Structure 1
Amino acid sequence: MYKIRDVEFSIEFMREHGYKRIKCKSCGSYFWGFEEENCGEAPCKLYTFINNPPTRRRYSLREMRNTFLKFFEKRGHEIINPYPVVARWRDDLLVTIASIADFQPYVTSGISEPPANPLVISQPCLRFEDIDKVGFTSGRHLTIFEMGGAHVFNKKLENKFIYWKNETIAYHHEFATRELGIPEDLITYKEHFWVGGGNAGPDVEGIIGGLEVSTLVFMMYKINPDGSLSETPIWTVDTGYGIERWTWLSSGSPAAFEVIYPDVYKWILKVGDIDIPNYVLKDITIGISSLHEFTWDTIKPVIDEVAVKHGYDHVSLESEYSMYVDLMKSLDFSKSILFLIKDGGIPSNVKEGYLTRMLIRKLFNIFEKRSLEYSVIEDLFYNQYNQWVSDYPEIKDIYNVLFDIIKFEYKKYLEIIKKVPQIVRSYIKKGWRDVDTLIEIYDSYGIPPEYVKREASKHGIKVGIPKNFTELVSMRHLKQSVAVEEFREPLEDKIKSMKLYTEKLYYINPYWSEANARVIYKDKNYVILDRTIFYPGEGGQKYDTGYIISPDNRSYHVKKVEAIGDVILHYLDEDSDLRVGDTVRLKIDWDRRYQLMKHHTATHILLSAIRKILGGHIWQAGVEKEVDQARLDVTHHRLPTLDEIKMIEYEANKVISKCIDVSIYTMERGVAEKRFGPKIYQGGVVPGKYIRIVEIPGWDVEACGGTHVKNTCEIQFIKILNVEKIHDGVIRFTYAAGDSAVKHVWDYYEAVERARKSLSVSLESMPEKVSELVNNLEELGDKISKLIREVQKYRVYKLINEFEKCGPYNVLILRDDIDNLIILGEELDKVSKEYILVGYNKVGRGYNMIIRVGDNYMKKGVSAKDIMDYFIKYLIKGGGRGEDKYARFGGVGDVNKRSIEEVLIKYAEEHRTE
């Protein structure tokens, strides 16, 4: 869509070094070289560096990273620590896809200053658009890689340039030739036009030995909604040096995996009993570099050709190389999983957690396909941990959690694989839609497509698995995360068009409970003031309530407060006689505000306590501060134990008892990130050039816009009230602080005291007495259950002769207690294999229902879940869960024997069985 200008790179550097602009005869792209006929990048040119590295010496990955960073540091660039791979500071990305993503959009748009300028960083990045190519290309494609970014942010409007195209390419050339010793005539620069993250600009790609090792982007445009380009105020040098690729180039190894994972690579080859000589791997890698597509079908002819050349049986080499490819995938996927978990990407079915679970299940599928034991998976993560913990010490925090998560996910994987037959049957009955169905099953259940294909074939359905299946799935999820332009409500448009401003007194002093202000706008439902002490509902903290007192001393109750941009709206219970220009008195409900302040500061304290006890993977996933209690959602894979909860509460209260002054100050975004790191963004994206920092020295630092107490002593104490798992990967802590915590403790005490009196025992004897009563109840329950089963067994022999026909089916329709009907169904199974039992019972305004199907009917394709779907569609409004054998559901509708029969007849007519 966008074209590069012919003269874009006709710069001094190219002229000085004798580079000419040439059109590649193979791909048609323009590049800068000497007398070459092609651009030098595979497949236009095969790899020449395998067993023939062009560098002065070989480098390890760590050496290459440090060499790159030190090279630019010596040339005035400040080294910046890498950001997490989960991009919580962005609302348009799930994961960090490039080093420049650390500084978009605020720095690149000119809103905020960078942490340094120029700067250099080696940023671990995740990309999934090439996931299905991993392993096939010997390490050219990876899901996780380090991007060496040397970044400059030039202020175009002020004509303040640090450096631009000439210096950028010159630095790259100097790094390659003088630092690494690569001959100049091996380097070509291929023109391209880069687009990403809403920005664009011309770029050149550094090509050496057939391998693209760098991309040098000159980001100077913003992409407008209509697709047109407009210049940005900041012209950004966005370079991406592929640290793994440079390392691979310097090693000349047939596989990048050997130099990225030296020790783990050797270990996993032994695990897989791989014994392919390097000279064979070399020829395969060079042969594959000639390809445009990378699938098993495309690389198989290359392997066969190499087999003939070296006298191998081609079937044996294909088999061994196929195993090799899978093991290389497992190296890449396991590192991505490790880094995702490190940065709080706990496996789940949403957001970054979906990507973690997707990778974990792909890994499990590889090991299952290759008949490798689960213990080998644990050994793989143990080896990966040891490989990376020196370079990324924060990995130490997740050692125990890592193995807990992998074990937990493996159990879930085995459970879902058992359900493949019934899941596939249910989709067949709904109507198979080929790839769409395959993706939907993968999205909903995480079932590998190979399992689905195998099961569907049993039903005569041929399933084609796209070669880029995982890429399709992952990109669908990544696209869902991209922010679209928010729809603006009429009120928001109206307020922003008025260009009003409200001074936020609650930031100047959150302890002010009264103040004067002037009315600057009045509507029927709300007023806008020039200044206010009323805090709007933001960041999970509830808004303030209180009163606005008019000049004639009339009080108007403020029921809600809302912020729109720089304006604060005060909603009143009634239309007021306030007028623009009136000076009014403000009074907030101080007790309510003070309790909310305690809860907000308590949230910061509790979050760091949870992180200390459960691990560094903990990130805030949601929060709400009410007056009575508060809740904090965090990323974690399982419910904490009682001992862990006690330790968390103990650590939080220890901080409170130390009476630490809470520091609140405003910092320029770049300075804050440099000083504290990305963990300040626990609450998500914080817009603007300046951010408000709330620090509890020695304990917690966060970017936060809420109101807080001055000293931790004011919180009094924190009481955790409940801990629950709200969905995979997220644990919710409900808690109270201050007076609310005291009230909850007394409520608990009074409840215990009432129970103690009812049992007529001392407090110390209560646990023993309760256990005794529970045991007695269980014994009584067992006796009652046995009696009920005997009754239902007798009842079955009576009902066996009372089946009615609905179409071809023997049907029994009964109204009774649902628990009784469940037992009756189990007994019915012992005497009949051909039946449909429909049970129902009225509960409140609706009905509870069950369906049970005999084994012979199931073999003919009759499914309790499918019948349930018919009842939900045609008879009741409700929902439920079911499988082929049994379904339980409920809802509101006209449920009786006749209406049930009508639904069953409809089902029978539309589901003919043999």
Structure 2
Amino acid sequence: MYKIRDVEFSIEFMREHGYKRIKCKSCGSYFWGFEEENCGEAPCKLYTFINNPPTRRRYSLREMRNTFLKFFEKRGHEIINPYPVVARWRDDLLVTIASIADFQPYVTSGISEPPANPLVISQPCLRFEDIDKVGFTSGRHLTIFEMGGAHVFNKKLENKFIYWKNETIAYHHEFATRELGIPEDLITYKEHFWVGGGNAGPDVEGIIGGLEVSTLVFMMYKINPDGSLSETPIWTVDTGYGIERWTWLSSGSPTAFEVIYPDVYKWILKVGDIDIPNYVLKDITIGISSLHEFTWDTIKPVIDEVAVKHGYDHVSLESEYSMYVDLMKSLDFSKSILFLIKDGGIPSNVKEGYLTRMLIRKLFNIFEKRSLEYSVIEDLFYNQYNQWVSDYPEIKDIYNVLFDIIKFEYKKYLEIIKKVPQIVRSYIKKGWRDVDTLVEIYDSYGIPPEYVKKEASKHGIKVGIPKNFTELVSMRHLKQSVAVEEFREPLEDKIKSMKLYTEKLYYINPYWSEANARVIYKDKNYVILDRTIFYPGEGGQKYDTGYIISPDNRSYHVKKVEAIGDVILHYLDEDSDLRVGDTVRLKIDWDRRYQLMKHHTATHILLSAIRKILGGHIWQAGVEKEVDQARLDVTHHRLPTLDEIKMIEYEANKVISKCIDVSIYTMERGVAEKRFGPKIYQGGVVPGKYIRIVEIPGWDVEACGGTHVKNTCEIQFIKILNVEKIHDGVIRFTYAAGDSAVKHVWDYYEAVERARKSLSVSLESMPEKVSELVNNLEELGDKISKLIREVQKYRVYKLINEFEKCGPYNVLILRDDIDNLIILGEELDKVSKEYILVGYNKVGRGYNMIIRVGDNYMKKGVSAKDIMDYFIKYLIKGGGRGEDKYARFGGVGDVNKRSIEEVLMKYAEEHRTE
């Protein structure tokens, strides 16, 4: 779509070094070289560096990283610490896909200054576009890799350039030749046009020995919604040095995995009993470098050719190399999992958690396919932990939780695999849609496609698994959708077009409860003022309420406050007589505001307490501060224990009791990131050049736009009220602070006191007394249950002769208490294998229903869940859950014996059995 100009890289560097622009005879791309006929990149040219490294010495990954960073530091670039792999500072990306993503969009668009200029960083990145190629290409494709980024942000409009194309390519050339000792005639520069993250620009790719080792991008365009390009005010040098590839190049190893994971690589080869000589791996790797596609079908002929060359049985070599490829995948996937969990990507079915779970289940599938025990998986993560903890010390914070998560996910994996037959049958009955169904099952349940294919074949359905199946699935989840409230757009456009501004007095002094202001705009149900003490609902904190008092002393109740751009809208209970230009008096509900301030500061304190007790993987996943209580959602895989909750509460209250002054100040974004790191973005994306920092010295620092107390003592204390799991990977803490916490404690105390008096025991004896009563109730319940079961058993022998025919099925329709019907169904199973039981009972305005199916009918494809779906579709409005054997549901509708028979007949007509 976008073309590069012929003269784009006709620069001084190329002329000085004798480079010529040549068209590759193999791929047709243009490149800069000497007298070569092709661009030098595989597959146009096979790898030449295997067993023949062009560098003057071999480098480890750590050595290559440090050599790269120090090289640019000596040339005026400041070293910046890497950002997390979960991109919480972006609202359009889930994971960090490149080093430049750390600085998009605010720095690259000129809104904010970078943390340094120029800068250099070695950024761990995640990419899933080539996940199905991992292992097949000997480490050329990875899901996780380090991108060495040397970045410059030139101010084009001000004509302030630090350096551009000539110097960028010259630095690259100097790094390769002088620093690493690579002969100049081995380096070619291939032209390309790069697009990513909403920006674009021409680039050259550094090619050495057949391997692309770097991409040097000159980001100078913004991609408009219609696909056209427009120049950006900042012209960015965006270089991506593949640190793993440079290391591989320097080693000459047959595989990059050996140099990326030296100790783990040796260990896993022993685990898999792999004994392929390096000279065989060398020939396979070089042979695969000639390919355009990388699947088992395309690499198999290469393996067979190598087998013939070295006198191997080709079937044996294929089998061993297939195992080898799977083990290499496991090295890559486990590192990605480790880094995702480190940065709060807790396994779930949404956002970055989906990617973590996808990788974990792919790993489990590999180990199951290769008959490797679960203990080997734990050993793999233990070895990966040891491999990376010295380079990334923050990994220490997740040591215990890492293995807890892997064990937890393995249990869930085994549970879902058991349900494959039931899940596949349900999709077959809905109507199989080939790849779409395969993707949907994977998306919903995480079931590997091989399991689905095997189960579907039992029903006569041939399932084709796309060669890039995982790529298809992961690409559906990589980009976040930015929510847009369409109905708000006209109001937002209207407000922004007026170019009004409201001074935010609540930031100058959040303790002001009264102030004067002037009306600058009035609508039927809201007014805009030139200044305000009313805080709008932002960052999970509820908006203020209060009164606006007119010049004639009439009070108008402010029921809601909202921010749109630089303007604050004050919504009133009624249409007011206020006029533009009126000076009004503002009064907020101070008690409400002060309580919200306490809850907001308490949230910051509690978050760091949770992280201290549960681990460094904890990130904020949601928050809401009400007057009565507040809630904080965090990334975690399981409910904390009671002891952990007590420790969290203790740590939080210890901070409060220290009476620490809360510091609030505004910082330039780049400066704040450099000083505090990306963990300041707990609340997600914070737009703008400047960000407001709320710091509790020695405890917590966050970018935050809320109102806070001056000193932690004002919070009084925090009481955790409830902890619950809201979905996989996210735990919710509900808590109260200050006066609200006192009220909740007294409510609990009064409830306990009433219970104590009812039981006529002391407080100390209550637990024992309650336990005694519960035991008595359980014993009584057991006796009642046995009696009910005997009654239902007796009913079954009477009802066995009362089946009615509904199509080909024996049907029993009963109206009774649902619990009784459940027991009756269990007893019915003991005397009959061919029946459909439909039970129902009226509850309130609707009906509860159950369906139970006999074993012989199940074998013929009759499913309680499918019958339930018919009732929900044709008889009642409601929902429920079910499996092939049993379903329970409810809803509103005209439920009676006749209407039930009509639905069953419809089901029978559309589901003929033999």
What's the TM-score once normalised by structure 2's chain length? 1.00
Q: Distance in 2 between matches of 1:209 and 1:69?
A: 23
Alpha-carbon deviation of 1:671? 0.0
Matched ranges for 1:420-439 at <5 A: 420-439=420-439
Q: Secondary structure in 2 aligned to 1:489? A: helix
Alpha-carbon deviation of 1:449? 0.2
Alpha-carbon deviation of 1:480? 4.9
Q: Distance in 1 between matches of 2:402 and 2:908?
A: 50
Q: Distance in 2 between matches of 1:305 and 1:445?
A: 40
Equivalent pair of 1:92/1:483 in contact (CA under 8 Å):
no
Unaligned runs of 5+ in 1: none
Alpha-carbon deviation of 1:457? 0.4
Q: Secondary structure in 2 aligned to 1:488? A: helix
Q: Secondary structure in 1 aligned to 2:726? A: strand
Alpha-carbon deviation of 1:525? 0.1
Q: Distance in 2 between matches of 1:485 and 1:82?
A: 34
Q: Distance in 1 between matches of 2:50 and 2:806?
A: 73
Q: Distance in 1 between matches of 2:520 and 2:484?
A: 33
Q: Secondary structure in 1 aligned to 2:698? A: coil
Equivalent pair of 2:92/2:479 in contact (CA under 8 Å):
no
Q: Distance in 2 between matches of 1:861 and 1:747?
A: 54
Equivalent pair of 2:91/2:480 in contact (CA under 8 Å):
no
Residue deviations 1:105-162 (CA, integer Å, cap 9, x gap): 0000000000000000000000000000000000000000000000000000000000
1:337 matched to 2:337? The reply is yes
Equivalent pair of 2:666/2:693 in contact (CA under 8 Å):
yes
Alpha-carbon deviation of 1:824? 0.1
Q: Distance in 1 between matches of 2:500 and 2:452?
A: 59
Q: Secondary structure in 2 aligned to 1:719? A: strand
Change (3 A) 1:487 1:288: farther
Residue deviations 1:780-805 (CA, integer Å, cap 9, x gap): 01000000000000000000011001
Equivalent pair of 1:863/1:883 in contact (CA under 8 Å):
yes
Q: Secondary structure in 2 aligned to 1:487? A: helix
Q: Distance in 1 between matches of 2:330 and 2:650?
A: 41
1:24 matched to 2:32? The reply is no
Q: Distance in 2 between matches of 1:225 and 1:144?
A: 30
Residue deviations 1:749-783 (CA, integer Å, cap 9, x gap): 00000000000000000000000000000100100
Q: Secondary structure in 2 aligned to 1:621? A: strand
What's the TM-score once normalised by structure 1's chain length? 1.00
Q: Secondary structure in 2 aligned to 1:480? A: coil
Q: Secondary structure in 1 aligned to 2:466? A: coil
Alpha-carbon deviation of 1:736? 0.1
Q: Distance in 2 between matches of 1:152 and 1:480?
A: 27
Equivalent residue number for residue 327 of structure 1: 327
Residue deviations 1:693-714 (CA, integer Å, cap 9, x gap): 0000000000000000000000
Equivalent pair of 1:686/1:703 in contact (CA under 8 Å):
yes
Equivalent pair of 1:337/1:360 in contact (CA under 8 Å):
yes
Q: Distance in 2 between matches of 1:378 and 1:71?
A: 38
Equivalent pair of 2:818/2:840 in contact (CA under 8 Å):
yes
Q: Secondary structure in 2 aligned to 1:484? A: coil
Equivalent pair of 1:151/1:238 in contact (CA under 8 Å):
yes
Equivalent pair of 1:345/1:353 in contact (CA under 8 Å):
yes
Alpha-carbon deviation of 1:488? 5.2
Q: Distance in 2 between matches of 1:604 and 1:860?
A: 58
Q: Distance in 2 between matches of 1:802 and 1:729?
A: 50
Q: Distance in 1 between matches of 2:479 and 2:802?
A: 57
Q: Secondary structure in 1 aligned to 2:684? A: coil
Equivalent pair of 1:880/1:889 in contact (CA under 8 Å):
yes
Alpha-carbon deviation of 1:477? 1.1
Residue deviations 1:487-541 (CA, integer Å, cap 9, x gap): 7521111101100000000000000000000000001100000000000000000
Equivalent pair of 2:526/2:572 in contact (CA under 8 Å):
yes
Equivalent pair of 2:118/2:151 in contact (CA under 8 Å):
yes
Change (3 A) 1:548 1:662: same
Q: Secondary structure in 2 aligned to 1:315? A: helix
Equivalent pair of 1:723/1:734 in contact (CA under 8 Å):
yes
Equivalent pair of 1:85/1:124 in contact (CA under 8 Å):
yes
Equivalent residue number for residue 582 of structure 2: 582
Alpha-carbon deviation of 1:486? 7.0
Q: Distance in 2 between matches of 1:794 and 1:129?
A: 63
Q: Distance in 1 between matches of 2:177 and 2:483?
A: 42
Change (3 A) 1:536 1:120: same
Change (3 A) 1:137 1:262: same
Q: Quick check: 817-826 or 470-479, which moved more?
A: 470-479
Q: Distance in 1 between matches of 2:487 and 2:276?
A: 58
Residue deviations 1:849-894 (CA, integer Å, cap 9, x gap): 0000001111111000000000000000000010100000000000
Residue deviations 1:434-460 (CA, integer Å, cap 9, x gap): 000000000000000000000000010
Change (3 A) 1:822 1:287: same
Equivalent residue number for residue 633 of structure 1: 633
Equivalent residue number for residue 154 of structure 2: 154
Unaligned runs of 5+ in 2: none
Q: Distance in 2 between matches of 1:904 and 1:356?
A: 43
Equivalent pair of 1:143/1:333 in contact (CA under 8 Å):
yes
Residue deviations 1:384-410 (CA, integer Å, cap 9, x gap): 000000000000000000000000000
Alpha-carbon deviation of 1:29? 0.0
Q: Distance in 2 between matches of 1:197 and 1:40?
A: 28
Alpha-carbon deviation of 1:371? 0.1
Equivalent residue number for residue 300 of structure 1: 300
Q: Secondary structure in 1 aligned to 2:616? A: coil
Q: Distance in 2 between matches of 1:441 and 1:187?
A: 47
Alpha-carbon deviation of 1:471? 0.1
Alpha-carbon deviation of 1:476? 1.0
Q: Distance in 1 between matches of 2:133 and 2:826?
A: 50
Q: Distance in 1 between matches of 2:487 and 2:795?
A: 62
Residue deviations 1:251-277 (CA, integer Å, cap 9, x gap): 000000000000000000000000000
Equivalent pair of 1:93/1:482 in contact (CA under 8 Å):
no
Alpha-carbon deviation of 1:180? 0.1
Equivalent pair of 2:92/2:480 in contact (CA under 8 Å):
no
Equivalent pair of 2:118/2:153 in contact (CA under 8 Å):
yes
Alpha-carbon deviation of 1:347? 0.1
Q: Secondary structure in 2 aligned to 1:479? A: coil
Alpha-carbon deviation of 1:483? 7.2
Q: Distance in 2 between matches of 1:550 and 1:485?
A: 33
Equivalent pair of 2:93/2:480 in contact (CA under 8 Å):
no
Equivalent residue number for residue 658 of structure 1: 658
Alpha-carbon deviation of 1:228? 0.8
Identity of aligned residues (%): 100
Q: Distance in 1 between matches of 2:483 and 2:298?
A: 37
Q: Distance in 1 between matches of 2:229 and 2:591?
A: 53
Q: Quick check: 478-487 or 668-677, which moved more?
A: 478-487
Equivalent residue number for residue 732 of structure 2: 732
Change (3 A) 1:858 1:348: same
Change (3 A) 1:522 1:538: same
Q: Distance in 2 between matches of 1:651 and 1:483?
A: 36
1:907 matched to 2:904? The reply is no
Q: Distance in 2 between matches of 1:146 and 1:539?
A: 33
Equivalent pair of 2:94/2:480 in contact (CA under 8 Å):
no
Alpha-carbon deviation of 1:481? 4.0
Equivalent pair of 1:91/1:483 in contact (CA under 8 Å):
no
Residue deviations 1:189-246 (CA, integer Å, cap 9, x gap): 0000000111000000000000000000000000111111100000000000000000
Equivalent residue number for residue 119 of structure 2: 119
Root-mean-square deviation (CA, aligned residues, Å) is 0.7
Q: Distance in 2 between matches of 1:481 and 1:172?
A: 37
What is the number of residues matched between the two proteins?
914
Equivalent residue number for residue 549 of structure 2: 549
Change (3 A) 1:756 1:652: same
Residue deviations 1:341-379 (CA, integer Å, cap 9, x gap): 000000000000000000000000000000000000000
Equivalent residue number for residue 363 of structure 1: 363
Q: Distance in 1 between matches of 2:101 and 2:64?
A: 22
Equivalent pair of 1:152/1:162 in contact (CA under 8 Å):
yes
Q: Distance in 2 between matches of 1:695 and 1:635?
A: 22
Change (3 A) 1:143 1:703: same
Equivalent pair of 1:351/1:481 in contact (CA under 8 Å):
no
Equivalent residue number for residue 175 of structure 2: 175
Residue deviations 1:43-62 (CA, integer Å, cap 9, x gap): 00000000000000000000
Equivalent pair of 1:723/1:732 in contact (CA under 8 Å):
yes
Q: Secondary structure in 1 aligned to 2:812? A: strand
Alpha-carbon deviation of 1:479? 3.9
Change (3 A) 1:413 1:681: same
Q: Distance in 2 between matches of 1:486 and 1:106?
A: 25
Equivalent pair of 1:94/1:481 in contact (CA under 8 Å):
no
